[in-house]
Structure 1
């Protein structure tokens, strides 16, 4: 059996998780990230860290259609609302499914590193998904790590790209142009 599958949403969150002791194969499943150029930028930053720390990265296709299909009707929801819950559940379910099908003992996510996310919601969903897929979910609260400030310094020192919005088209800041295309 393989040990652990770590769902990673972005490089800054991987830094705090890694410094806090998280290890395992990296699973970058984030079809919510929009536009595709942003997805690629975040993925490349994760690859840079994975290469530096000798982490295995699972190649996962970019699939924004799944995100748009599942969140249809929730476009106007506020951050941390029902749309975010749907998005997090989708990502953790796909992670757990992959873990189950590929013989991993456990899975977790770096999503709890972000102050933009509800840690309680993420861990609750992870525990529900665990019951449905039969792969252990390891709840965490990376943003409360005593190494959080060290991680912020390392991110800056390494020149890691830090995004200014969660990832989906609906969370883009007003400073960024709203994109019409779905790819």
Structure 2
């Protein structure tokens, strides 16, 4: 298995690890006060070309904000393993809960191994996700650990509208589905398009 490595913009890693799901959410979260090293662990994103496009945009935004990035190997098999049998679940239910928890568990694992004191996620910047589900998952995975999860609601920042302008101004890629192949299928169903 590939090792994680830092892409350092600053001299040293920070004490907070920020799980990042996409570049637009990183902009929103940063303007709302989120700081730390960027941890782009998203094995749910499908296909690989989409994953690489989103990762490239995250690198661009992290460089703009002068943030360190932890390079994490792409590992879609883990997502498919953990969500087996839940392919037909509607968005926002059990499959999504498992996916969010999986990503936060990996963030915590890396944080513990590398001396971070806390972690959080930009997932709460999305208006389509349950903040309660995300923060409960973070609190639960970090229970009994020295690395603390910091609950947040980045989308409630007074700078939310400014972040939308900055995203547009920088020409940041905005995806039209959550990330997994099942969310693509759900989008297609809602639009009445043929499922891939």
* TM-score, with length taken from structure 1: 0.94
What SS is found at the alignment partner of 2:15? Answer: strand
Contact 2:117 2:146 in 1 (8 A): no
Segments of structure 1 that go 5 or more residues without pairing to the other structure are none
Alignment of 1:1-183 (within 5 A): 2-172=14-184, 173-174=187-188, 178-179=195-196
Q: CA deviation at 1:177?
A: 7.0
Segments of structure 2 that go 5 or more residues without pairing to the other structure are 1-12
- Cα deviation, 1:116-140, whole Å, max 9, x if unaligned, reads 2100000001000111543100000
2: distance between equivalents of 1:169 and 1:34? 6
Contact 1:3 1:105 in 2 (8 A): yes
Contact 2:47 2:181 in 1 (8 A): yes
Q: CA deviation at 1:60?
A: 0.2
Q: Residues 171 and 104 of structure 1: is their aligned pair in 2 closer, same or farther, counting only changes over 3 Å?
A: same
1: distance between equivalents of 2:106 and 2:194? 30
Give the length in aligned residue pairs.
Answer: 179
1: distance between equivalents of 2:34 and 2:137? 19
CA RMSD of superposed structures (Å): 1.4
